[in-house]
């Protein structure tokens, strides 16, 4: 009997299509990672707390940004890092970032963070990434997070009580449409941590939930 061959996750093609067709907005001549990476209210609030955290770390941390997108946010964190590694799944986006952003302590890599070996670092940033991908992929990512001392997770979740971690097909919206959101500490992910601290919470208008940034210390 032939074994059933699993189809590859559609994430790479889905994300490439999102950028190619500008489904998150922006002009038609460049990559654009959506309002969550460009709305000044969201961005400034986020940067304030993350920069404050990075400044407290002596020596500065090596930071791995998993899903760095168009780098509108990451570029502002580079000066506060010993080394900053931007990772994204879209080849053309990484090529573009390599051309636009230069610093001695900055590098970019095109990787599938669910499948590929991730760089060594002190701190991982996952900013509104997990909300777009399936539970199966998240589970693979979680197995790698124990290698990092700090994890800074940002997720768009419903306000109030909700059922966490309903599954989705990668690239087809986010869980908030199902009154759900990603919580790595609960099943099926069950991430083990030492400490948890909410750094920032931005309430999205028109009752569309909130964008929460949480700092986890793993060891």
What are 176-204's pLDDT values in tens digits? Answer: 999 999 999 999 999 999 999 999 999 99
- Per the omega criterion (within 30 degrees of 0), is the bond before 59 cis? yes
* CATH number belonging to domain 36-217: 3.40.50.150
CA–CA gap between residue 48 and residue 53 (Å, rounded) = 9
List, run by run, the mean pLDDT of 10-residue segments along the chain (219 residues).
50 91 88 94 97 98 98 98 98 98 98 97 98 96 97 97 96 92 98 98 91 98
State residue 207's pLDDT score.
Answer: 79
CA–CA gap between residue 219 and residue 149 (Å, rounded) = 5
Taking residue 143's Cβ as centre, other Cβ atoms within 10 Å add up to 12
β 83-88/106-110 pair status: parallel
Per-residue CA distances from 105 to 59, 75, 101, 102, 143 (Å): 14, 11, 11, 9, 27
Q: Which residue is listed with tokens 């907005």?
A: 25
Q: Name the 3-class secondary structure at 55.
A: helix
State residue 185's pLDDT score.
Answer: 98
3-state helix, strand, coil in the chain (%, to 5): 30, 20, 50
High-pLDDT (> 90) share of the chain, %: 89
Phi, psi torsion values for 195, nearest 5 degrees: -145, 155
Own/partner long-range contacts of 159-162 (Cβ < 8 Å, ≥24 apart): 159/203, 159/207, 159/209, 159/210
Burial class, 85, CB count within 10 angstroms (exposed 0-12 / middle 13-18 / buried 19+): buried
Q: Where are the domains of the chain?
A: 36-217
């Amino acid at each position: 009997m032939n074994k059933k061959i699993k189809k590859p996750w559609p994430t790479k093609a889905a994300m490439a299509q999102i950028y190619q067709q500008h489904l998150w907005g922006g002009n038609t001549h460049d990559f654009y990672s959506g309002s969550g990476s460009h709305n000044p209210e969201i961005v400034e609030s986020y940067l304030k707390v993350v920069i404050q955290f990075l400044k407290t770390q002596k020596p500065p941390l090596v930071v791995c940004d998993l899903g760095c997108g168009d780098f509108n946010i990451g570029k502002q964190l580079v000066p506060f890092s010993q080394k900053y590694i931007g990772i994204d799944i879209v080849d053309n986006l990484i090529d573009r970032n390599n051309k636009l952003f230069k610093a001695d302590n900055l590098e970019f890599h095109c990787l599938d963070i669910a499948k590929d070996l991730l760089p060594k670092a002190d701190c991982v940033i996952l900013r509104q990434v997990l909300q777009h991908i399936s539970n199966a992929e998240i589970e693979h990512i979680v197995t790698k997070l124990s290698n990092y001392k700090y994890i800074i997770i940002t997720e768009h979740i419903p306000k109030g009580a909700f059922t966490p971690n309903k599954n989705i097909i990668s690239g087809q919206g986010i869980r908030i449409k199902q009154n759900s959101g990603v919580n790595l500490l609960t099943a099926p992910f069950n991430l083990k941590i030492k400490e948890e601290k909410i750094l920032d919470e931005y309430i999205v208008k028109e009752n569309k939930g909130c964008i929460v940034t949480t700092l986890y210390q793993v060891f």
